[in-house]
Structure 1
Amino acid sequence: MFAGCAGDGSAGWQNAAVCMSGNEYVVNWVTPQFYFHLVTAYNILRHNGVPLGKADYVQHMLAYLRQ
């Protein structure tokens, strides 16, 4: 799974070996998984009537608003 993939650096999944660097792991596996679960949770909450919108995700940007 990480650089070199010697011994404990590889992981198996359905008879397939995965060998990647730490950066590749984060970019190609962790980040997409994170956003998939974030969007899925958002959709479930919206479906159940929770009033969420863009402002709930970008509150940190309110400091940059011009009036």
Structure 2
Amino acid sequence: MIFYKTEEEIELIRESSLLVAKTHAEMAKLIQPGVTTLELDKVAESFIRDHGGIRVLKAIMVF
């Protein structure tokens, strides 16, 4: 079954995708030897919240 998106849903997807792209760009400025993924995670979370986003998924993978 095919589900079509409404214009409102498409706009929400567009907005969230733009925030993700901006978050990636912000994190890219900080990536260098010695910076931990935990530090990057904190920056990403702050950036998302500061720009009106809500972080939906935060999973810790243990291998």
Q: Shorter-chain TM-score: which interval? A: 0.3 to 0.5
Bigger share in helix: 2
Q: Which has the higher contact order (CA 8 A, sep 6+)?
A: 2
Structure 1 length as normaliser, TM-score?
0.42
